[in-house]
Homo-oligomer: A and B are copies of this chain.
Amino acid sequence: MYRELREAIVSGRFQPNERLVEADLERMLGAGRTTIRAALVRLDQEGLVQRSPNRGARVRLISDREALEIEQVRAALEQMVAREAAYRASARDLVDLRSELARMRAHVEHGDPLGYSELNASFHQRIWAIADNRVATALLATLKSQSIRFQYRTILQPGRPVRSLREHEAIVEALAAGDPDASEAMMRTHLAHVIETLRAAIERQAPAVP
């Protein structure tokens, strides 16, 4: 039940800020209100849903500012994870990463930013797995689900996929060299560019508020 509701929210079947009335969800998902309620409490704690006392639950709207904060936190964690992965990556891991990279390159060359974006996500997850830090992985996963609505604002920018791909290649090289400092640094510059792109996209869309 929690899974289903979560999926419905993350996949965008509910709009941001949309009310989640317990009785409606009850019919929609075919579960008792008690069960729905428990799921809403979890999703609230997870930051996907906002509940106010006696006023029910809504799909949480992530503001532009919060999206940037999330991206900064994500960057900090991914840097640490990349460093850790440099210590731990096996030959097999590197083979997998390089084949992932090849597939990403294909999508870029065919001008398919959306397909690239999906592979991008699984590329990063692969690094999380190598680093083998469950706490970090769990946090990164919930951060990603919170900010999912913002992902296209970066990858759809003209020229971004090509640069993004080069940055990913640099990360793999550093990991292959077993160089923790370089791996962290490459991940840092990669995500600094992501943040910069996102910031620019946001400012362009919402120009100077008086």
Shortest beta-carbon distance, A183 to chain B, in Å?
Answer: 14
**Stretch from A72-80, A107-115, A154-162 contacting the other chain:** A72-80
Measured between alpha carbons, how far is A143 from B73 in the docked complex, in Å?
Answer: 14
Q: Which parts of A29-43 form the interface with B (CB within 8 Å)?
A: 34, 37-38, 41-42
The distance in angstroms between the C-alpha atoms of A44 and B43, with both chains bound, is 12
Query: In the complex, what residues of B have CB within 8 A of residue A69's CB?
Result: 133-136
Apart from A69-B134, A70-B135, A76-B136, what are 13 other A-B pairs with CB-CB below 8 Å? A37-B38, A38-B38, A41-B41, A42-B42, A69-B133, A69-B135, A72-B80, A73-B80, A73-B133, A73-B135, A73-B136, A76-B76, A77-B77
Shortest distance from the beta carbon of A134 to any chain B beta carbon, whole Å: 6
Size of chain A's interface in residues, with CB distance under 8 A? 25
Q: When each residue 59-77 of chain A gets 1 if its CB lies under 8 Å from chain B and 0 otherwise, what string results?
A: 0000000100110110111
Q: Point out the residues of chain B lying under 8 angstroms from A133, CB to CB.
A: 69, 72-73
Copy number in the complex reads: 2
Q: Is the CB of A46 closer than 8 A to any CB of chain B?
A: yes
CA distance A143 to B139 in the complex (A): 11
Contact B73 A77 (CB under 8 A): yes
A76 to B131, CA, bound (A): 14
Q: Please, which residues of chain B bring their CB within 8 A of the CB of A73?
A: 77, 80, 133, 135-136, 139
Q: How far is the CB of A204 from chain B (nearest CB, A)?
A: 23
With a CB–CB cut-off of 8 A, which chain B residues contact A44? 42
A132 to B41, CA, bound (A): 26
Which of chain A's residues 18-54 have a Cβ closer than 8 Å to chain B?
34, 37-38, 41-42, 44-46
Q: Which residues of B contact A38 (CB under 8 A)?
A: 37-38, 41
* Listed residue (A37, A45, A75) with the most chain B CB atoms within 10 angstroms of its CB: A45
> How distant is the Cα of A19 from the Cα of B42 in the complex, in angstroms?
21
